Amino acid sequence: MLLFAGTAVAAVAAAGVLARVDPNQPGHYPTCPFLAVSGLYCPGCGSLRAVHALTGGDVVTAWERNPLAVVFLPLVVVAWGAWGLRLSGRDAWHPTRIPAGWVYALLVVVLSYWVLRNVPGWTFLSPA
């Protein structure tokens, strides 16, 4: 349970830093290594700016920065909550109960997103 509480404190602290220190201003956070080396966007590019926008309640800007992060963030929060319920002895959804097909579908979604956000004409998926 201590690890669960520590994770919660770390997540709140990270969100607090992102709320105060704007990733849109250069010099505060490192550049994405994949972007720096290849010039292409990875699936995570724009996630810091998306979370920064979400901490300010700006869902539209967050969506423009990284729609995949906006979609997956609630799923991560639900999984984290289920972990806490399991640690407290309650029966909850467990990641090992995810069918293999869902894992492969997730992999296809992330890889497709990665490719499409770098294809001309699909710039709406690229971080603005």
- Report the C-alpha gap between 124 and 128 in whole angstroms: 8
What lies within 8 Å, CB to CB, of 7 at 6+ separation is 80
Q: Is 65 exposed, middle or buried (0-12, 13-18, 19+ CB in 10 A)?
A: buried
Task: Tell me which of 16 and 88 has the higher pLDDT.
Answer: 16
Q: How far apart are the first and last CA of the chain?
A: 39
What does the pLDDT look like over 17-30, one tens digit per residue?
A: 999 999 999 888 99
Tell me which residue range forms the domain holding 67. 2-125
Question: To which H or E segment does residue 54 belong?
Answer: helix 47-55
Q: What is the number of structural domains in the chain?
A: 1
pLDDT score for 109: 96
Task: pLDDT band for 98, please (50, 70, 90 cuts).
Answer: confident
- Does the structure show a pLDDT above 70 at 95? no
- Note whether 35 and 41 are within 8 A (CB): yes
Which residue's structure tokens are 């250069």?
26
Provide, rounded to the nearest whole percent, the portion of the chain with pLDDT above 70: 96
Q: How many CB atoms lie within 10 A of CB 83?
A: 17
Provide, rounded to the nearest whole percent, the portion of the chain with pLDDT above 90: 60
List strand residue ranges (DSSP E) for 40-116, in order: none
- Does the structure show a pLDDT above 90 at 48? yes
Task: pLDDT band for 123, please (50, 70, 90 cuts).
Answer: confident
What does the pLDDT look like over 65-83, one tens digit per residue?
A: 999 999 999 988 888 888 8
